[in-house]
Structure 1
């Protein structure tokens, strides 16, 4: 059994090295392979969690075999319990918090409907201008057309009414002009 535990330990260490050296390449190569799984089970069965459990089981089994007087069955049970505990700790201490930090600056044009922006390039009655929106922590500029068919000067706050052909259709929100610093309040 000592050889089995040593093999598990070496396998886990080799996996860690391969992951560090070729992680991005492997991630792209295996992209979508686990898409059939869903929910938290998918995240709990990530290779990092599984191989951490294998490594911990190999290390615990090897140490208990070498330095304890327990029998083979007891050592196997303790090694499995240690592996499960280690996997849970890896999942809750590393994988789960990292999921919560993932963010994206991507948005759909449909997300802009109803959103308030500020005209940065005047929007003519029949033509295109530009509107600035605050999306998350950044600003995005979008091609804009007047929904009402009226001129909208720079600095006017507008609301997006619709999307057509990749352009936002906007209508003035109010009649007073705003300054560039007001975009921060959007």
Structure 2
């Protein structure tokens, strides 16, 4: 009977330690480069937590052999960790995590003129960027005048000023 209580204590302490490490990793995991593969720190921690929780519960609820309890706990933990990795971690890691953008990334996109752009002067365009619309200072690419409401193509960005030209869409085969 003493051996069963001892194993329960080992599982219980392992569960507490893994729980504390999980909380710490949730807060500070981005600071470390623990790896992004199948055997990353988060999947290893999930496996150890589930194994210790299963071992503790099986020792508490059953009178099975200790080797059988360890084996069953590890099999169940492996299945749940596999599901955790492939159904939670992989989709989260491939999801877009930022709506940030740089002005240079906007070159090649279209925008709408909201303040007319005079020749040899500045106006303003409205650019769809980062999940919203952002007004930006603009000048004509070859110093041409561009009227309000016209669609423009962003050619380049120099010193925070967007260099644009009038946008002429290419006709598709259906429109010819």
What band does the TM-score fall into relative to the shorter chain?
0.7 to 0.9
Taking the aligned partners of 1:46 and 1:166, their CA distance within structure 2 comes to 42
Question: Unaligned 5+ residue runs, structure 2?
Answer: 1-6, 169-176
> TM-score, normalising length from structure 1?
0.72
Distance 1:135 1:169, change over 3 A: same
Match of 1:143 among 137, 147, 152: 137
Shift of 1:143: 1.4
Q: Is the 8 A contact 2:100 2:130 kept in 1?
A: no
Question: Unaligned 5+ residue runs, structure 1?
Answer: 175-186
Moved over 4 A (4+): none
SS at match of 2:143: coil
Which is greater in Rg?
2
Q: Is the 8 A contact 2:151 2:167 kept in 1?
A: yes
Shift of 1:46: 4.5
Partner of 1:9: 15
Shift of 1:121: 1.2
Shift of 1:118: 0.8
Partner of 2:156: 162
